[in-house]
């Protein structure tokens, strides 16, 4: 059985219930995955879109959105690409208070064995105790 890639708008309909017909279709898809009738896959760019949309358009709190992303990681029948990095990023975002995207960058840098991160957004990475590249050196 070939997997089905799940886009952000399916997760958004699942979480927000704002379009009843779409919500029901999303629920049905995930119920089918739970019964192993279909295999679902998603990836980090989708999670970034879900995070941004729930925070910006729906004005949900950071922790509430991190919990929603956590539920995606544990959904039966769904494979999240880069699962380990996403899980690490969620933990970093929860413990540091920084946004999910920056936490994912820090997790990716650690996974790649990077000694520092070149950024002009040093304060968020310092909250994670991640070395920031000193420009000019």
| Token pair 């279909």 in the structure block, residue | 38
Q: What is the pLDDT of residue 134?
A: 85
Model confidence, pTM? 0.89
Q: What is the pLDDT of residue 100?
A: 95
At 82-124, the pLDDT tens digits run: 999 999 999 999 999 999 999 999 999 999 999 999 998 888 8
Compute the mean pLDDT over every residue in the chain, rounded to the nearest whole number: 93
Which of 38, 63, 81 terminates a domain? The answer is 81
Same domain, 10 and 66: yes
pLDDT for residue 137 is more than 60? no
Same domain, 92 and 114: yes
DSSP 117: B
Determine the structural domain holding residue 72 and report its residue range: 1-81
Same domain, 57 and 120: no
Same domain, 66 and 94: no
Strands (E) located in 1-137: 4-5, 40-42, 78-80
């Amino acid at each position: 059985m070939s997997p089905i890639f799940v886009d952000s708008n399916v997760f958004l309909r699942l979480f927000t219930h704002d379009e009843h017909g779409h919500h029901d279709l999303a629920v049905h898809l995930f119920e089918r995955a739970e019964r192993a009738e279909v295999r679902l896959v998603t990836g980090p760019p989708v999670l970034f879109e879900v995070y941004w949309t729930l925070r910006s358009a729906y004005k949900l709190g950071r922790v509430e959105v991190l919990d929603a992303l956590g539920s995606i990681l544990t959904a039966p029948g769904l494979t999240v690409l880069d699962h380990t990095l996403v899980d690490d990023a969620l933990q970093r975002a929860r413990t540091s208070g920084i946004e999910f995207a920056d936490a994912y960058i820090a997790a990716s840098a650690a996974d790649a064995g990077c000694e520092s991160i070149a950024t002009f957004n040093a304060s968020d990475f310092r909250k994670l105790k991640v070395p920031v590249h000193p420009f000019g050196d």
